[in-house]
Structure 1
Amino acid sequence: MNATTQTEAVRGSTTTRTNRHDVEGITHMEDVVRNPIARWALVGLRYVLGFTFLWPFLDKLFGLGYGTPAENAWIDGGSPTTGFLTKNPAVVDGPFAGFFANFAGGIWDFLFMFSLLGIGVAFLTGAVLKIAAWGGALLMTLMYFAEFPLGRDGEGFTNPIFDSHWIEALALIVLAYTFSGDKLGLGRWWSRIVGSDSILR
């Protein structure tokens, strides 16, 4: 194949992709992430983050003994938010302890658990990623300020400003806006229902 033929083939491929995009009106993962290794890496990250949110939901719901003892299981009357906001030294010793203590127990248990479940399921299935990503970013922001390192003695901190909450929040946004749910997920099917630019995607 000579240079002219290769150029025409590339143009034809680009035209096909553009025409498909114009006809469907839907942007897919391969339109914004060209490298196949990068696409697989994003899918792997999507699954890891999805399970990162789903696991604490299950642990707190059933008291699996990892972060939540069996006697504190939510199904047995435990409070998922009370333990974190009123007994966790990282929160209690923080500068905003008094503020966040107001969010312990009651309706906040339901909102917190629903958030963990919704974000986890969304990223594992690859649908409703934008809402889940922004919701997850908000949750990570609140948890960051609940354990705010500045103003504390610094014990156990290697970085007084950035921690894993920032990484997870930004990763959620990146995964949503690179349409990572299209690969090994329900993203393509869901995008045909709600449209490419919908916040519901």
Structure 2
Amino acid sequence: MSRRLKTSLIVIGVLLIIFLPLIGSYNSIVGLEQKVSAAQANIDTQLQRRSDLIPNLVETVKGYAAQEKTIFTDVANARARLAGAQTVTDRANADAELSSALSRLLVIVERYPDLKSNQNFKDLSVALEGTENRIGIARQDYNTAVNNYNTSIRRFPNSIISGMFGFSQKTYYKASQGAQEVPKVNFTR
């Protein structure tokens, strides 16, 4: 082998040793970022599912409690704010507001025993409860994905790569102030 060929092979070898781990790190960060996006989409899907259930629940309650107009307006306004939320923080705050309005709506149910025994209301209540559980799990999954991503982009050598390619930390899904207290909902007596 000629000296020139040996030198070229050494240079190529050194470049591969340097760049292959960088490429692997970049691809790893991209994968983690996609998991964050997918987890956020899952939250949005569950929030939409809940939002779609609410009009039916409200209409069922309205049939029994027509004089409770303020709560119906509050629920509608909270749904609109959630639908218009753009950031994770705005979405979390709007979600907490909607949960609060829903809990007030469900308190009304206690005043109407006939409503509690209505099959449509029971079915909607079960669907809403299941959706609330799915939302909680989706939030946990999102925060886990954000934690993995944020940790990855801050570790060396990924911190260099994330800085070079503009990867920035993601925001955790946090409940708004006052949302730490779980509303007590009881559909049966």
Sort the TM-score into its range (normalised by shorter chain).
Answer: 0.3 to 0.5
With a CA cutoff of 8 Å and minimum separation of 6, indicate the structure with the bigger relative contact order: 2
Q: In terms of Rg, which structure is larger? A: 2
The structure carrying a bigger helix percent of its residues is: 2
Q: What TM-score comes out, normalization by structure 1 length?
A: 0.37
